[in-house]
A and B are shown apart, each in its own frame.
Chain A
Amino acid sequence: MSAERKKLLSVAALSLMALFLWWAQGHLDGYKIQILNLVAINIILALSLNLIYGFTGLFSLGHAGFMAVGAYVSSLLILPAAQKETIFLLEPLVWPLSVLQAPFFVAVLAGGVAAALFGLLISLPVLRLGGDYLGIATLGFAEIVRVVANNLPGITNGALGLKGIPHYANIWWNYGWCLFTLYFIVRIVNSNFGNVLKAIRDDETAARAMGIDVLRCKVISFALGAFFAGVGGALLASLLTTIDPKMFLFLLTFNVLMIVVAGGLGSISGTVIAGVVITVLLEWLRFVENPIDFGPIHIPGIPGMRMVIFSLALLFIILFRREGIMGMREITWDGLACACRRGGKDRG
């Protein structure tokens, strides 16, 4: 297939997507739009983790920490000064933060940059560790972020969290950022740098022997992943309009990890598909917790059942289909065309 034609198809797909979102905004109820928004944010988060873990092989469990940094930085920039005064009930917000203001786009960008800087900061010591040790150390950092956020009421408002964050993160912002993340990560993965990352993942020793500056590449990948995690956190904060340290527990990282594993480590299309499926599934699974659906009262039947099924699903995937939905494959226009032709032939 010619590059020209692929570009055309991409543009067509994009406009179709935009058309769908435009229709959704007008016709779907707020509940479904909320899910659509969560889908976009979860895809951003999962893509960023896939860059770190799936493509570079760095097992990081620190996503909740990056998200927290991004969420706090961006929220503090978009909160109106008056709102800041009212919500910091116990201790006033420290000076420069109390007056700083930025437009939404800049704030999200700043959240991402702050998370990336944080990622850079911790990557220098932590990335010397490998495998599961790295996972535990990054998990440790995420926990430290949470503990610190609880204990700095002058900056984060402590456990009270930030309330009344302006709800700028509408469907266009979320999908815009999602698309940007997708484009950026696809470009990286398909670039020479992406090949270097994959080489490090597959055999670090060999990569080093080839003269690759392994640590530097790892740090860059880690910081980029942290940047998008921060962006995701910033968007989530504006979508939910309220954040506090309790939100950024390990469970949040687990959800993102689940998407990446289910989609296939090192598969971008897999991550996107799993992001949609798992986010929707998590909503849809609510039904298992309220089985009594007739009569005037709906009593939730078995509380906790949803997470039981969710964790079983993860176990099932890791035990029986470790490569996830897509393995390491990708959906491409060529692949699709091929499948169409084959399908056509079968029919014919």
Chain B
Amino acid sequence: MSLEMFIQHFLNALTLGSLYGLIAIGYTMVYGILRLINFAHGDIFMLGAYFVFWGGALFKLPWGLAVVAAIAFTSFCGVLVDRAAYRPLREAPRISALISSIGVSFFIENLCIVTFSAIPRAVHVPQWLGQVHLIGKVRLLPLAVVVPIVSMVLTSGLLWIVYRTKPGLAMRAISKDIETTRLMGVPVNRIIAITFGLGSALAAASGIMWALRYPQIHPFMGVIPGFKAFIAAVLGGIGSIQGAVLGGMLLGFIEIMIIAFLPALSGYRDAFAFVLLIAILLVRPSGLMGEKLEEKV
């Protein structure tokens, strides 16, 4: 393999990995706090992409404004999902909330089919993002740089919120012990709603970037990225934000590099992620950066 080719693969993996990482943060935040695998996260991601499309196509918003509006609206949807489908189940067995999230996921997907139809739609990509630059023999899409940078910025912002603000402190407290936190007078439900809002905003951001990178949206676009991002979150250590980013990167690199070096296995690509998931669950269930979760007795 030539060096240029390797660099090209490297750039491809970097873009894919940062997208996975960004989606994975949403999983990790919700899991860290509620111990809930939010199956609907991939569909929230899809909604983000659709709202930009809507803002542009229906309300004729300028692109930048459409993005901001979409992130805000998706964030609201995330909070709404929590309020309607998860909050009533806080006291129920954990699996109930998981089943509820599966229901929400199917509901959002099919509601989108009802309202937007299943036909894939083209996404408008601003000129400056779509232009390919040639550096030596390597072809660089602005997105390959923009996506990792945006990921970094958003993740740092999130880390600041979690580690430097009061709501962040409350989030960390809830993830340690929800009952005690409630007794300390923290409005637990509001903090959880904020968590969902933040996680969904990040999902929207990654949905939008995903739609720019792969300029097509359809109601099921969130399913596979959602699964992969969840795996990335487990890989990095669920509950850890840095871990999610790291896990996303790792998964992106593994997927791309296996095909790069073993093209014959390209048909098995979706299985890599699951094999990796099972392997990591068996060998190191706490992931690369996660704390060990004690089974509560």
Contacts and interface: CB of A to CB of B under 8 A. Distances in A.
Given A132-B37, A144-B271, A144-B274, A305 B114 contact: yes
A96 interface: no
B160 interface: no
Given A143-B270, A147-B268, A135 B98 contact: yes
**Which of B107, B118, B275 has the most chain A CB within a 10 Å cutoff?**
B107
B12 interface: no
Nearest to B270: A147
A136 B229 CA distance: 13
B85 A319 contact: yes
Nearest to A131: B94
A10 interface: no
Interface in B118-137: 118
Interface in A24-42: none
Interface in B88-123: 88-89, 92, 94-96, 98-100, 102-104, 106-107, 109-111, 113-114, 117-118
Interface in A143-192: 143-144, 147-148, 150-151
A205 interface: yes
B183 interface: no
Nearest to B272: A147
B230 interface: yes
B282 interface: yes
B62 interface: no
B96 A310 contact: no
Nearest to B98: A132
B267 interface: yes
Given A148-B271, A312-B107, A133 B102 contact: no
Contact of B106 (A135, A261, A307, A322): A307
A311 B270 contact: no
Given A129-B281, A135-B98, A304 B118 contact: yes
A307 B113 CA distance: 10
Contacts of B297: 205
Contacts of B274: 140-141, 143-144, 147
Contacts of A150: 267
B103 A132 contact: no
Contact of B278 (A135, A137, A304): A137
A13 B113 CA distance: 44
Interface in A317-344: 318-319, 322
A304 B107 contact: no
B95 A131 contact: yes
A291 interface: no
B285 interface: yes
Contact of A319 (B89, B111, B277): B89
Contacts of A133: 281, 285
B110 A319 contact: no
Contact of A308 (B37, B107, B271, B275): B107
Interface string B272-294: 00110110011001000000000
B77 to A, nearest CB: 15
A105 interface: no
B179 interface: no
Contacts of A43: none
Nearest to B266: A151
Nearest to A305: B114
Interface string A252-270: 0010010001000000000
A128 B107 CA distance: 32
A227 B104 CA distance: 30
A126 interface: yes
Nearest to B31: A132
Interface of A: 59, 125-126, 128-133, 135-137, 140-141, 143-144, 147-148, 150-151, 205, 251, 254, 257, 261, 302-305, 307-308, 310-312, 314-315, 318-319, 322
25 contacts: A129-B282, A131-B95, A132-B36, A132-B94, A132-B95, A135-B98, A136-B234, A137-B277, A137-B278, A140-B274, A151-B267, A302-B114, A303-B117, A304-B114, A305-B110, A308-B110, A308-B114, A310-B106, A311-B103, A311-B104, A314-B106, A315-B104, A315-B107, A318-B99, A322-B96
Shortest 6 CB-CB contacts between residues of A and residues of B = A304-B113, A140-B274, A311-B106, A311-B107, A307-B110, A147-B271
